[in-house]
Amino acid sequence: MSQTVAELNEHFGMAGVLAFREEHGLIFADITTPVAKASVCMQGAHVLDWQPNGQEKVLFLSQKSDMAPGKPIRGGIPILFPWFGPRHDGKEGPMHGFARIQPWTLGFAALAGDDLHMTFTLGGTDVSRGLGFDHFRVAYQVTFGKALKLQLTVANDGTEPLVFEEGLHTYFHVKDVRAMTLAGLDGTHYKDKVDDFKVKPQIAGPMHLTGPTDRVYMNTTATCIVTDPGFKRAITIEKAGSETTVVWNPWKEVPDIQTDGWHEFVCCETVNAGDQTVTLGPGKAHAMEAHISVA
Ligand SMILES: O=P(O)(O)OC[C@H]1O[C@@H](O)[C@H](O)[C@@H](O)[C@@H]1O
């Protein structure tokens, strides 16, 4: 049974800091800390918004996104689990897995200094069991402060190996994707999904996006920096426990993004996928982290 908005407000509500509301059949948490504003949808434990005081919004959220039970949200930080992209084992399943379209449970919320710490969890549901995933637990610890810290921990509760892909599909808000640059991927190779999955070396130097971009960078744990001259800022994405980075922008109108909305974001995703799929033995756990800061 999912938590109701009344239960969430009773157990975790904090006057002026954390309040829950229901809209379109979904529950949202509105967050105000001394240093930032943010919001989360309980479906997918989906961070929709994070805005340190004095900054433009750091995450892009489409004005035309579906906001409905069972539908993925376009923007913010969708959690991809237990597969990345189309399901890879030949079985049926929703794009990017079921975690982003399931209600999660809130287990903890507390303000420590200027930071709000929240922990969301997901375990087996009718939907996950229908897709063959039962003996797993996921915890998502998010710290909303001047920085945004995300930690996704997956545990195997079963007696068989748990094989999964995962991703924090961060949509970074930029003034114009055609003017920003992305650094940090020098020396890596990527699978180019817009060119028949050919493996290509990354050209050294800050990367400019000039067309449809859908690249899976392999074997990289590097910090990435999005430099945005439009908003005169740099967004730094440090990560741990992740060996894949995905860079995506469709470079065209998309039905659930407003006209010209694709100009306003770049996805730089903290992922383990493809050759970096995770296999966890029984009783084992794996953590993946992204730390996002703006200067
Ligand atoms: O539309 P979705 O399911 O949210 O996926 C968006 C994009 O997500 C990226 O991570 C994938 O590499 C792309 O291939 C995909 O198009």
Which domains does the chain carry? 5-294 (2.70.98.10)
Look at residue 273 and give its three-state secondary structure.
coil
Q: d(Cα 30, Cα 32) in Å, to the nearest integer?
A: 7
pLDDT digits (tens, 9 = 90+) for 102-130: 999 999 999 999 999 999 999 999 999 99
Indicate whether residue 87 lines ligand 1 (CB < 6 A).
no
pLDDT digits (tens, 9 = 90+) for 236-278: 999 999 999 999 999 999 999 999 999 999 999 999 999 999 9
- What pLDDT score does 90 carry? 84
Give, as one character, the DSSP assignment of residue 203.
Answer: P
Distance 39 CA to ligand 1 centre (A): 22
Ligand 1 pocket mutation pick from 248, 251, 262, 267 by most atoms within 8 angstroms of CB: 248
Nearest-CA residue for atom 15 of ligand 1: 85
- Index of the ligand 1 atom closest to the CA of residue 74: 4
Q: d(Cα 153, Cα 49) in Å, to the nearest integer?
A: 22
Q: What percent of the chain has pLDDT over 70?
A: 100
Amino acid at 134: D
- Index of the ligand 1 atom closest to the CA of residue 254: 1
Nearest-CA residue for atom 12 of ligand 1: 214
Indicate whether residue 193 lines ligand 1 (CB < 6 A).
yes
Give 3-state DSSP helix, strand, coil % of the chain, rounded to 5. Answer: 10, 45, 45
Indicate whether residue 72 lines ligand 1 (CB < 6 A).
yes
Distance 85 CA to ligand 1 centre (A): 6
Nearest-CA residue for atom 13 of ligand 1: 214
pLDDT digits (tens, 9 = 90+) for 134-182: 999 999 999 999 999 999 999 999 999 999 999 999 999 999 999 999 9
pLDDT higher than 80, residue 292: yes
Q: d(Cα 252, Cα 94) in Å, to the nearest integer?
A: 23
Catalytic positions are 169, 269
The values of phi and psi at residue 222, to 5°, are -70, 150
- Index of the ligand 1 atom closest to the CA of residue 193: 14
- What pLDDT score does 1 carry? 75
Residue 89's pLDDT band, with cuts at 50, 70 and 90, is: confident
117 beta partners: 110, 143
Residue 53's pLDDT band, with cuts at 50, 70 and 90, is: very high
Distance 271 CA to ligand 1 centre (A): 12
Would you state the structure tokens that stand for residue 154, as one six-digit string? Answer: 């997956």
What is the value of ipTM here, to two decimals? Answer: 0.98
Cβ contacts of 199 within 8 Å, gap of 6 or more: 189, 190, 191, 192
Give, as one character, the DSSP assignment of residue 184.
Answer: S
Q: What is the CA radius of gyration of the chain?
A: 18
Helices (H) and strands (E) in the chain, counts: 2, 23
Q: CA torsion sign, 275 to 280 to 284 to 290?
A: positive
Cut 0.90: pTM above it: yes
**Quick count: other Cβ atoms within 10 Å of Cβ 57?**
17
